[in-house]
Structure 1
Amino acid sequence: MPQYLTLLLDCPTVIAAIFISGIGGTFQYGFCVSVMTSPSDFIKELVNKTCLQRYSVSLDPWQVSLIWSFTVSIFCIGGLLGSLVAGPLISKYGRKQCLLLNNFVAIFGAVLMLLSQKAMSFEMIMVGRLLYGINAGVSLSAHTMYLIECAPKRLRGMVGVTIATFISLGKFCGQLLGISELLGTEDRWPWLLGFNGFTALLQLVTLPFLPESPSFLLLDRGDRPACEKALKRLWGNKDYSKEVDEMMKEKAALQSVRSHSVMELIQNQSVRWQLLTIIVVFTTVQLCGINAVYFYSFDVFRAAGIQEQQLRYAALGTGMCELSTSIACFMIIESTGKKVLLFRGYMAMCATLVLLTITLYLQTQVSWMPYCSMVLIFMFIFFFASGPAGVTAPLPGEIFTQSFKSAGYTIACTLNWTGLFVLGMLFPVLVENLDYFCFLIFLIFCAICGLYVRFNVPETKNRTALEITTEFEKMHCKSGESKKKTTEQEFSGITTIETKF
């Protein structure tokens, strides 16, 4: 690990790219996921006051809850819209330009949040959440693609983990700023909801000093001098001729091939296993039970004797656990391998869910059982953050060649947002009917994904997209023999290309 850390420290511009792209990228997603918990009572009160002032109508509790639920879930609708438009925008304008323009969406949403209380308009919060969702949907794709393509091949796993680290940092900051000592008060909650605008402004000011993605410059625009200039700024005066040669081989393999649409990716048989991998992994990351564990953590903390007013501080512990584990994953991923982290993570999560179901069942019968449940909650968060959370986000950029990347990220992010929305709608029903036995459903998803990765996905560490494509073919060819040719079936026909490494 020190070897890889030394290599990263030798690339200060890459480190700057990690922080600058992250603070206006996946940080926004994580912050929006956790920030609505603290001001929920104040927003519900605003809904009631608005209707009373405008229409002289006092809403019933179920009506307020319905409006509140829609306000929270509209973020997912915005995220889905953002992920659908992200692919074409990224392919046309570039990763950096897309991130820059995306900041204006977040800033406009933040202005609406800040003015909502004075304007006595809960609708402004809804529109702001929708805009935040669009911003997060675009940034999930643009941030990931930009960062992975700016990193040296040997460091892509380590750099890729930071995408999940900034999600965890966003969640933790949302929890931390939401406490009553900071912004979680009746007067300051609009500033809490508008915090995204400040992080977007920070990226808007600093990102122009960073170069565009070298892969985009060479493979999409065909500008080799600009690509080499960007590599020099990112990696310093190192010998990057090997990386340029690998990109040139990919460019030759994709000569006269345009960026593919989502439908073309779905219909293309040559990348069916890569597509299936994205479907399985991104569906599972939302349905693995992490949100259910966070939900039940409050009940477990209460049973363990933690006072009601101290629960939000205990919740900060879960956020800190995820953040610190994500940083630990950053340290070990290059030496361990991504496939191993995914498989071990999901298998360990399966075992933890079984034990957690048992301890929750016995929670009222054995006095010390809530403490066991509390330990298992932290263990589950640890296993999630140390593998699936860090490895999943950059996966489409690693297993797809340049012409399929945008479409791959569009599908991945669409699955992510759809899963988050469906879980938000169905989870209350599952809890009401199954209680803690709902963990057994999540256990099935974890087991299926872990076993699928173990037997159907090659290791991606230190490999190019073409090499990974070859490995997929070796694993799934009917004869079981290794092939020296990579066959890419394009939408318009089949092109067989001799690859040499």
Structure 2
Amino acid sequence: MSVMGMFQFGYNTTVINAPDGLIKAFFNESHLNRYGTPMPEATIDILWSVAVAITAVGGCIGGLLGAEWANRLGRKRGMFFNTFSGLVAALLMSLSKPAHSYEMLIIGRLVIGFHCGLYTGLVPVYNAEVSPPSIRGSVGTINQLAVTLGLLIAQVLGLQDTLGTAELWPVLLGLAAFAPVVQIIGLSFCPESPRYLLLSMQEEVAAVQSLKDLRCGSDVQAELTEMYKEQQSNSDLDEHKVGVLGLLKDPSLRMPLLVAVVMHLSQQLSGINCIFYYSSALFERIGLSVVDANYASLAVGGIMVVMTIVSIPLMDRAGRRALHLVGLAGMFFSSIVFTVCFNVAVKATEKNRTLEVTSIVFALMIVVFFAIGPGSIPWMIVAELFSQGPRTSAVAVGVVVNWLSNFAVGISFISLLNATGELVFVPFTCFLFVFFVFLWCFLPETKGKTFEEISALFNKH
């Protein structure tokens, strides 16, 4: 049930992609309705970039508040109260067209970003804390599976044959209310995190009962022993809740924090959001019709779902480090081939079907390798790299970095595309190389290890 929050994140990341032309037309119609003159094309492009990227601004705000939200309200109650911001956002977006107000749409995108930002901090922490070490990687990958299902469903519903029409696109955006409604009902059946209850609230009886409920009667003694050991370790170290400044001041936490930040940067500055947000525009640029470009974009969501499912059993077999590095390397080489083919296809004087297909294939290969590792691992591994005291603050830092880089890509991509043309992926290719080298040197393997064992890996250096 907790992963419905990540479904919401995926849905609202890409829901605005397919109806881009319709929403731009709505901007112009609203301006014309108010002032009697059409909106300048440059203004439409600016408003469109803002509507896409402002979700990340809200995500940063939600991410900044995530640690305090999780610590004060708890993981479960934190998710429950967050559902109401999602309902407000859905209402604003769905009513923007009847109200002839593009401001309502943009504010709704800001609020939905805040809503998703809180989820990206709450859900990975909750799932990491309720999962046994043996399957923690697989459970973490289910986070990404929920994201990809949200992406795919948004793309399917955004087609012209479904809700991607001038009359129905507000319904498409308003469906952001679905996940909060499901969570309001479903969270009442979910237990609170036993780690939060024991290590943060010192409620031992409630923690034991929560763990028993989660394991459905299975023996929980080994997990309880590990939790008590972490509690004793925290007590010996006098470890309390650590704020963001505390993370920066503590030398033993700086390297794990740097690794966590680079993990999130390797996800967002890989170029993947250019495909999620602007795949239709990219495919149109190489010669596809609007309809064909939207169907090609649909393949992005389909591949994300399939490859994420494939990666679930691999996460606790191959390990986080191996999968993330393979994913970055594959994205690097696919990005090079895509850039070459995209450049030649756009500049070709005659339509070349082979180049079009090759460009699309390698754009989709970027998605394949992203789904193998970089798509899911940054969200789960940050919660694994830190013990109970600094965990929520570290996750909050990772979430803020993720959303800030998301915003930077979303707001700048159209300008970057206009400035660099067919070489638009070159900066992201360079980033991928830098991230691969850094993480090859400093990213530890966390597969099957307790939180205490992972902390010890950094303390050795």
Query: Structure 1 residue 331 and structure 2 residue 317: aligned?
Result: no
**Unmatched 5+ residue regions in structure 2?**
none
Q: 2:206 aligns with which of 226, 231, 237?
A: 226
Aligned amino acid, residue 381 of structure 1: V
Q: Is the 8 A contact 1:274 1:399 kept in 2?
A: yes
1:417-463 per-position Cα deviation (integer Å, ceiling 9, x unaligned)? 11011112332233233333333322222222222222212210111
Report the counterpart of residue 439 of structure 1 in structure 2. 425
1:243-271 per-position Cα deviation (integer Å, ceiling 9, x unaligned)? 11111111112124321111111111011
1:258-317 per-position Cα deviation (integer Å, ceiling 9, x unaligned)? 211111111110111101101211112111121334578557755887543222112111
Q: 1:33 aligns with which of 13, 16, 37?
A: 13
Report the counterpart of residue 133 of structure 2 in structure 1. 153
Structure 1 stretch displaced more, 456-465 or 247-256: 247-256
Q: Is the 8 A contact 1:303 1:370 kept in 2?
A: no
Query: Structure 1 residue 456 and structure 2 residue 442: aligned?
Result: yes
Distance 1:230 1:102 in 2: 22
Query: Structure 1 residues 207, 372: closer, same or farther in 2, change over 3 A?
Result: same
Query: Structure 1 residues 432, 111: closer, same or farther in 2, change over 3 A?
Result: closer
Offset of residue 222 of structure 1: 0.8
Within-5 A mapping of 1:71-110: 71-110=51-90
Aligned amino acid, residue 358 of structure 2: C
Aligned amino acid, residue 259 of structure 1: K
Query: Structure 1 residues 348, 263: closer, same or farther in 2, change over 3 A?
Result: same
Query: Structure 1 residues 374, 123: closer, same or farther in 2, change over 3 A?
Result: closer
Offset of residue 122 of structure 1: 2.0
Distance 2:459 2:194 in 1: 28
Distance 1:399 1:158 in 2: 16
Within-5 A mapping of 1:14-163: 20-23=1-4, 25-163=5-143
1:449-481 per-position Cα deviation (integer Å, ceiling 9, x unaligned)? 22222221221011112111111223x2xxxxx
Offset of residue 205 of structure 1: 0.9
- What secondary structure, in the 3-state scheme, does the structure 2 residue paired with 1:118 have? coil
Distance 2:429 2:43 in 1: 34
Query: Structure 1 residues 355, 189: closer, same or farther in 2, change over 3 A?
Result: closer
Q: If the length of structure 2 is used for normalisation, what is the TM-score?
A: 0.93
**Unmatched 5+ residue regions in structure 1?**
1-19, 477-501
Distance 2:188 2:276 in 1: 38
- What secondary structure, in the 3-state scheme, does the structure 2 residue paired with 1:460 have? coil
1:24-70 per-position Cα deviation (integer Å, ceiling 9, x unaligned)? x1111111111112333333333333334344444222223323322
Q: 1:196 aligns with which of 173, 176, 182?
A: 176
Offset of residue 158 of structure 1: 0.3
Q: Is the 8 A contact 2:60 2:399 kept in 1?
A: yes
Query: Structure 1 residues 117, 411: closer, same or farther in 2, change over 3 A?
Result: same
Structure 1 stretch displaced more, 386-395 or 447-456: 447-456
Q: How many residues align?
A: 455
Report the counterpart of residue 269 of structure 2 in structure 1. 287
Within-5 A mapping of 1:342-361: 342-361=324-343
Query: Structure 1 residue 418 and structure 2 residue 400: aligned?
Result: no
Q: CA RMSD in A?
A: 2.0
Distance 2:216 2:64 in 1: 35
Structure 1 stretch displaced more, 204-213 or 38-47: 38-47
Report the counterpart of residue 13 of structure 1 in structure 2. none
Distance 2:329 2:265 in 1: 16
Within-5 A mapping of 1:166-181: 166-181=146-161
Distance 1:277 1:386 in 2: 19
